[in-house]
Structure 1
Amino acid sequence: MIFAGLSLAQVLGILGGAAAFATALYILKLRRRTVAVPFSKLWERILRDKEATSLFSRLKRLLSLLVQLALIALLAFALGDPRAAATLIKGRNLVVLVDASASMQATDVGPNRLGAAKEEVKKIIRGLGGADRMLVAQMDAAVTPLGPMSGDTTELERALDSIKATDARADFPRALRFANDSVRGLENAEIVVVSDGRLGDAVDASGKVRVADDVKLTYLPIGARARNVGITQFSVRRYPLDKSRYEVMLEVTNTGPEQEDIELSLFGDNTLVDLTKLRLKPSERLPRFYPNLSGASRTLEAKIQPLAGSQDDLPADDHAYALLPERRRAKVLVVSPGNTYLEAALLLDEYLDVEVVSPKDYVEKIAPTNPKADVVIFDGATPLTAPRANAIYIDPRGPGSPVKVEAELKSPYFAKIERKHPIVRWTALDDVNIARGHKLVPEPLDKVVGASEEGPILIAGQRGGFKFVAMGFDVRESDLPLRVAWPLLLLNSINYFTDEDAQYISSFRTGDVWRVPVVSPSGQARLKAPGGGELFVPVHEGRAVYLGEHAGFYELAGAEGVGDEPVADPKNGADSGARTVTSFAANLLDADESAIEPAKELVVDGKKAGELSGFQIGVRREIWIYLLLAAILLTAVEWFTYHRRITV
C-alpha cells in the first residue's frame, strides 16, 4: 500500500492527535449540578436504580468513544489517499479520438452517431482507474485536443461535451499521427478510435501511418444502418453572351443498399425554380442538368427530401449551396478607326460599358493620363506605350506590340488550338478562313493559344502585371466575324481579364483550407459564418486563409468590416463608399462521406484494431472515496444511536 496524498507518518500524527483530543473529552469528569427537590425520600429509589446500571452506562460511553475514534481514523486515512502499489505503476494512458466528421451526423442511432459516440466515451471516462489518464481529441478535417492528459473525470466529460459535428471528412492519418506522438514514451499506452469507420486508409503524403507495437489500438464502432441519399456535385455558371441566364449541374447519389424515392428542389434567391421527384436505385449516381435558367441574381440552393417509404439518415449532404458570379459592368475602351464587326460583337453583352475612340484621340487625350478602363481593345492601332490595363491587340504592329511581329503569312489557318484555355472555350476555330496575317513570336512565359503551320497567330500572356491577348490578323480579312466564335472569342477574353471565366468557383469544399481574395491592410479579415457567428481570420498575400468545416453561405469583409462606415480612399478621396465584402459558398460534396455504412472493424497498416475492454462503470481505484463513504455511513449510525439513547 502506498499513500499518494499525505505520508503515513503525517496520517498517523493526525490520527494520534485527534484521537487523544477526543479521548480527553470523554474522560473529563462529569460535573453534576445540584437540584433542589421537595422531598428527598422520593429520589432515593431512583438513585439506587442508577447505581445498579452505572456499569452499563460506562459501556455505552465507551462504545460512543470507539465510534468517534473510528470516524477520525477513516478521515485521517482518506487524507493519505491510500492506493495499491500495483495500481500506481500500471495506470493506463489513453488517447481517445472522437470522430466528428459529416457522417457522424447520421441519425440511424439516437440522437445521432456523434451523440451515441459521446455516451460511449462517457462510459470509458466513468470506468477509468485511479491511475489512468486520458486525452480526448476531436477528429475531423483537423485534429483538436480538447484538454491535457488527465484523470479528472469532470474535466474529461466537460471536454467531451464541447465536441461539435462538422460538415467535412475526417483526416484519419493526421489524427493517428497526433495520437502516436501523444503516447510516445508512455507505459500502457492505448489509442481508442470512436467512429463509424468511414475513415479511409491511414495514408498521407508522408506514407503509411503505423502504430507502435507497444501501443494498443482499439476501435469502438458507432452506427447501425446505411440508407442515405446525398448531393455529391453542384455547380453553376452564367452564359457568356447573356449573363442574366445561367445553367446548373448537380449530381444526386444513393449510397445505400435499397431503392429510394426523393424530392429534389432547386431555389434561386430563396425562390423555388424547379421541383422534381426522382427514384434512385441502390448505389446509383444520377446527374441533373438545368440549362437556360433565369430569375436568380446571386444565390442558388439545392435540397433533397425523402418521400414516403424511403429513408435518408444523413441530413448533412441533403443541402447544397452555390453563388452566381456577380454581374458587374466592365469598362471597355475600343481604339479603332472604325470596325462595325467589333462594335456589334461588344453590344451583345449588356454589362459592358463600351467607349470608342480614334487612334489619334487616344494618343493625344487618353494615353498621357492612362485609360480608366478594365479592358482596352486596339484594333489595327498599336501605341508606343502599353496601357496600364488589360488589352486585346487585333493585328498588332510596330515596337509597341506586346509580342514581336514577324513575316506576313499567306492564308494562315488554325492548325493547333489550346482548347483548354478560357479565351477559346465553346468556340470552333479550326475551319476559320484567313486571307493574310502575321507570325507572332511569344516570350517564354506567354501561352500560344492558336497557331498555323508557319507559327503562332493567337497568344495570351502578361506584361507589367496586366494580361493581354494578341491576334495576328485583321478580322475583317477573314470570315471569323460571320461566325458565332467571333463574339465568343471577344467576350471570353474580357471574362479572362476580369476573372469571370469558366474557372469561377461557385462553392468551396468543406475540409479544405480556403484562400479567398480580400483587401485588408490590417492583416486580418472578418468572416461571417452560416450560423451567424463572426470571427477574425488572417490575411496572407491578399488572401484570407481559413479551414472551412461547415457548409453554407459566408461573408468575408476587409479591414472596414461588414456594415461599418465607408473608409477613406487615398486615391479617390475620403468616403469613397467602397467596402470590400466578398460572399462565397461551401459544400460537403463528398460521395465517400455520404456512404454511411458503418465499418465493423478498423485496420491500420495490416493491424486490426482490438475491442474495448477493462472499463467498468462505478468501480474506482481511489480508496479514499470509499473511506469517505464509510465515514459518512458511520456518522449516520452515530446520529441514529444517539437519538435512540443507545450510546449515551
Structure 2
Amino acid sequence: MLHFTGVPLQTLLQIGALAGAVVVVFYILKLRRRPVAVPFSRIWERILRDKEATSLFSQLKRLLSLLLQLALLALLLLALGDPRPQANLVEGRNIVVLIDASASMQAIDVAPSRIELAKEEVRKMVRGLSGSDRMLLAQMDAAITPLSTLTGEISELEAAVAAVRPTDATADFARALRFASDTLSGLPSPEVIVVSDGALGEPTDAGGQVRLGDIKLSYLPIGKGSRNAAITEFSVRRYPLDKSRYEVMLEVTNTSDEPLDLELSLLGDGQLTDLTRIRLKPKEKLPRFYPNLSGASKTLEAKLALADGSSDDLPADNRAYALLPERRRARVQVVSAGNMFLEAALLLDEYLDVTFVDPQRYPAASSFDVTIFDGVAPSVAPGSGSLLYLNPTGTSVPFEVGKEVLDDDPNYRLGFDELDAKHPLLRYTALSDVNVARARVLKGNKEDRVVGRSYKGPLLLEGRRSGVKFVALGFDVRESDFPLRIAWPLFLLNAINNFVEEDTSYISSFRTGSVWHIPASSSAEVASLEQPDGTTRAVPIQEGRAVFLGQHAGFYTLRVGAAGAQEESMFAANLSAPEESAIAPAAELKVDGRGAGAVSEFKIGVRRELWVYLLAAVLLVTAIEWFTYHRRVTV
C-alpha cells in the first residue's frame, strides 16, 4: 500500500482533474487548416480520396498523442505526491552522526588528513541513506554544533559535511552524546554514529555517566599512525628588576612508542633566538627552562620538528605561543614629607615614572597606577590606583592599626618571625633577620592575607577593598635596619610590580577548549576579537571581561571601543592537552560498558523514493513522444 508523503492525494486528484480537462479540451478542438491555393482542380480529388482513406488512422494517431500527454500528467502528479510503501515509512532510521573535530583529527597519518577522511566516509553514508531514513550531522569539539536538521535531503547533508572544520581543542564526548540522546528521544529506530579516532575519554560529566538506553551506538574508527611529539606546556615571564629580560619554561612530550630526535626552536617577535636538538625516549616528558633570555619585546613562539626537518603525524601540537607582559612605565605617586631611603629605592627601576607629593598637596593632578603613603594616611582620592602604606597611622586606612610594640625584650628581637615565603612580595628577599625598633600591629579582614608576622602580631598585610589592592608595612623603615639590606628595594619594587603587572599566566596563555574571560573595558558591551586566522567576530563583555569559547591556538587581538579611539590588547592561546597529542587510534569505543558496533546498512546509489523513478518515467515518455512526433506517428 502506498502513502503520499508529499502533496496530499485529495489535492493531487483536484489538480489532475483540472489539468486533464484542459489537455482533453485542447485535443478536442479542430485543427485549423491552412488555406493553400492550387492551380488545378484534379489535385482536390486526390486530397479528398487520401482523406477518406486515412481518416480513421488519423483519429487513432491523435488519440495516442492524447494518451501520452495524460500519462505525462499522471506521472508528474504522482511524483509531487512522493508515494512511499508503508513498509518504508515504518523501517526508516533516525540517525545522529557525531563527527570528531578535535585537535587529534588534524593528524596526517592518513591522506590527506583524518578529518578529511572522516568527512569522505560521512559523505558515503549520506549517499547511502534509504528514502525513509533521516540523519542529523553534528560537529563534536569543545562544544557540540549541529550542522543540519534531522532530514533525508542529500543536498543539505552534503553541505553540512562540507562545513566541518577541525579545532585545536579536546572533544566533549559526554556533551555530544547527551545532545544526540535528546535529539533522538521518542523517535523510532534511533542510532548514534561516532566518526572519530577514539581519543575521546570517558563520557562522564557533572551529571554522571552518559547512558544511551535503547539507542543503537555505532563507531567508525579513523586513523592508523601514532608517531607524535608535542609541546605540552609553555609559559614566560619577565624579570621584575630587568624587564628587558625574561625566562621561559616549556615541556616537550613524546607520545609515541618509538624514540624521536627533535629540534626545538624559540622565536621572539618572529626571529630565531634559540635552537636546541633533543632526543626523547618513548612516552618521555622533558621539561626545559631557559633563564635570562632577551631579544623579544612582545611575542614568543616555540616550534618542534623532527631532526630530519620533517613533521610528525600531528603538526597542530608542534607550536606554542606566549605573550610577554607589556614593558610600560608605571605611574607612581609618593605622598611623603621626605624619605631618602624610599626615594633612592625608586630610582633603581627605569620603568617607574615617580611623582613626589607633599601630604598637604595630595592628590596630584593626574591619575596613577600606585600611590605610596609614607607615614600618612589621608582619605584616598580617585585615580590613586593601588595603595602601599608605610608606617600607616590614623583611621583613614582600609584595615585596623593596632597598638605600638617595641623591641624591648632582650631575648627576642622584634622582626619577622613568620613569613609567607612564596608570596610575590617576598620574591628574591630574605626578611627573617630584619631588626625593627618599633612598629604597629596590623589587623585586616578575614579575606586579607598576612604576609609577615612578628611574635607580637602581624607587620606586613595584603588585601583588596572594592577592587583596589593594598599592601601595608607596619613600621617606619628608618626605625629598622631594613633599608640597609638589598631586600628593601626588592620588596618595594616587588610591591609595585605586583600592583601593576597583570596575571601573565592567565592573560598570555589561555588553554583552547575553555571559555575565556579576557580583561576589557567594563563600560563597553561588545568587543571585536581578531582570531589567529585573521577573521574577526564580536564577543560580549560581562563585568569587565570579554567572554569567548576559544578553540584555536595562536595570537588573538581584542579591540574595544569605536574606530579611532579603540583600546587594543593581545593574548595567546595554546593546545596544552596531552590526551589529544596521544594520537594512536582506538579500535573500540565503549559507552557505559557497552561496545559500539560497526557502521553498516549504507549502500550508495540505492534509494527508495519512488518520485525519482516517476520523474525518470516522465523523461522516458517525453522521449517516446518526441521520437513518434518526428516519425509522424502521432501527428
Is TM more than 0.5 here?
yes
1:127-142 residue pairs with structure 2 within 5 A?
Answer: 127-142=128-143
| CA-CA distance at 1:280 after TM superposition | 2.1
Give the C-alpha shift of residue 434 in structure 1.
Answer: 4.2
Partner of 2:534: 532
Paired residue type of 1:5: G
Matched ranges for 1:562-601 at <5 A: 564-566=563-565, 579-601=566-588
Alignment match, 1:261 = 261
Which secondary structure does the structure 2 equivalent of 1:234 belong to?
Answer: strand
* 1:246 Cα deviation from its structure 2 partner: 0.5
Q: Specify the code of the residue in structure 2 equivalent to 1:382.
A: V
Within 5 Å, give how 1:335-484 maps onto structure 2.
Answer: 335-336=335-336, 338-356=338-356, 362-367=358-363, 372-379=367-374, 381-386=375-380, 388-400=384-396, 402-410=399-407, 411-463=413-465, 465-484=467-486
Rounded Cα–Cα distance in structure 2 between residues aligned with 1:430 and 1:217: 65
Whether the 8 Å contact between 1:406 and 1:441 is mirrored in structure 2 is no
Distance in 1, Cα, partners of 2:11 & 2:518: 64
Report if the CA contact (8 A) 1:397-1:405 is conserved: no
Say whether 1:494 aligns with 2:496: yes
Q: Structure 1 residues 61 and 417, CA, compared in 2 at 3 Å: closer, same or farther?
A: same
- Secondary structure (helix, strand or coil) at the match of 1:344 reads helix
Question: Does the CA contact (< 8 Å) of 1:520 and 1:559 recur in 2?
Answer: no
Match of 1:176 in 2: 177
What is the Cα deviation at residue 622 of structure 1?
0.8
Taking a change above 3 Å as real, the CA distance of residues 354 and 50 of structure 1, as seen in their structure-2 partners, is closer
CA distance in 1: counterparts of 2:378 and 2:38, whole angstroms? 133
Distance 1:29 1:237, change over 3 A: closer
Tell me the amino acid that sits aligned with residue 351 of structure 1.
Y
User: What letter is aligned with 1:353?
Assistant: D
Aligned length: 625
8 Å CA contact 1:382, 1:400 repeated in 2 = no
Q: How far is 1:242 from its partner? A: 0.5
Aligned to 1:329: 329
CA distance in 2, matches of 1:141, 1:341: 54
Distance 1:642 1:297, change over 3 A: same
- Give the equivalent residue in structure 1 for 2:410: none
Amino acid in structure 1 at the alignment position of 2:548: Y
Q: CA deviation at 1:516?
A: 1.2
Q: Distance in 2 between matches of 1:14 and 1:515?
A: 61
What amino acid does structure 2 have at the position aligned with 1:165? P
Q: Superposed, which structure 2 residues align to 1:191-340 within 5 Å?
A: 191-211=192-212, 213-308=213-308, 311-336=311-336, 338-340=338-340
Separation in 1 of the partners of 2:365 and 2:465?
15
Question: Is the 1:139–1:170 contact (alpha carbons within 8 Å) kept by the matching residues of 2?
Answer: yes
Q: Which runs of 5+ in 1 are unaligned?
A: 567-578
**Which amino acid is the alignment partner of residue 577 of structure 2?**
D
Q: CA deviation at 1:472?
A: 2.6
3-state secondary structure, aligned to 1:160:
helix
Amino acid across the alignment from 2:400: V
How far apart in 1 are the matches of 2:365 and 2:10? 91
Q: Counterpart amino acid of 2:403? A: E
* RMSD across aligned positions (CA): 3.4
| Percent identity between the two aligned chains | 59
SS in 2 for 1:596: coil
Structure 2 match to 1:163: 164
> Whole-Å Cα distance in 2 between the matches of residues 509 and 535 of structure 1?
19
Distance in 1 (alpha carbons) for counterparts of 2:510 and 2:105: 21
* CA distance in 1: counterparts of 2:534 and 2:509, whole angstroms: 19
Partner of 2:517: 515
Contact 2:519 / 2:546 at 8 angstroms: preserved in 1? yes
1:292: how far off?
A: 0.7
Which residue number corresponds to residue 569 of structure 1? none
Change (3 A) 1:481 1:30: closer
Question: Structure 1 residue 21: deviation in Å?
Answer: 7.3
After superposition, residues 526-565 of structure 1 pair within 5 angstroms as: 526-560=528-562, 564-565=563-564
Structure 1 distance, partners of 2:371, 2:37, is 121
Residue 328 of structure 1 aligns to a residue whose secondary structure is coil
* Structure 2 counterpart of 1:625, from 593, 612, 615: 612
Give the CA deviation at 1:548.
1.1
Q: Deviations over 1:525-544 (max 9, x none)?
A: 12122222222211111111
Cα deviation per residue 1:80-125 (whole Å; 9 max; x = unaligned)?
A: 3221112123322222222211112112222222211111211222
Work out whether residues 104 and 581 of structure 2, in 8 Å CA contact, stay in contact via their aligned partners in 1. yes
Contact 1:170 1:199 in 2 (8 A): yes
Measure how far apart 1:277 and its partner are.
2.3
The CA deviation string for residues 544-583 of structure 1, in whole angstroms up to 9 with x for no partner, is 11111121111112222xxx224xxxxxxxxxxxx42111
Contact 1:194 1:222 (8 Å CA) reproduced: yes
Separation in 1, partners of 2:557, 2:19:
68
- Is contact 1:495-1:501 (8 Å) kept? no
CA distance in 1, matches of 2:526, 2:593: 45
Compute the displacement of 1:475 (Å): 3.5
For the pair 1:634 / 2:621, whether they are aligned, the reply is: yes
TM, length-normalised to structure 2: 0.88
- 1:645 Cα deviation (Å)? 6.3
SS in structure 2 of the partner of residue 491 of structure 1: helix
CA contact (8 A) 2:507 2:518 kept: no
Q: Equivalent residue for 2:121?
A: 120
For residues 573-629 of structure 1, the C-alpha deviation after alignment (integer angstroms, 9 at most, x for no partner) is: xxxxxx421111111121111111112122112122222122211111111111211
SS of equivalent residue, structure 1 residue 419 = coil
The 1:352–1:17 alpha-carbon spacing in structure 2 relative to 1, beyond 3 Å, is: closer
Which 10-residue stretch deviates more, 111-120 or 483-492?
Answer: 483-492
Name the structure 2 match of 1:189: 190
Any idea what SS the aligned residue of 2:349 has?
Answer: coil
Tell me which residue corresponds to 1:98.
99
Distance 1:192 1:332, change over 3 A: same
Contact residue 97 and residue 138 of structure 2 kept, 8 A: yes
- Measured after TM superposition, the shift of residue 477 of structure 1 is 4.7
SS for the counterpart of 1:227 is: coil
On the 8 A contact 2:377/2:393 being kept in 1, the answer is: no
Contact persistence 1:526–1:556 (CA under 8 A): yes
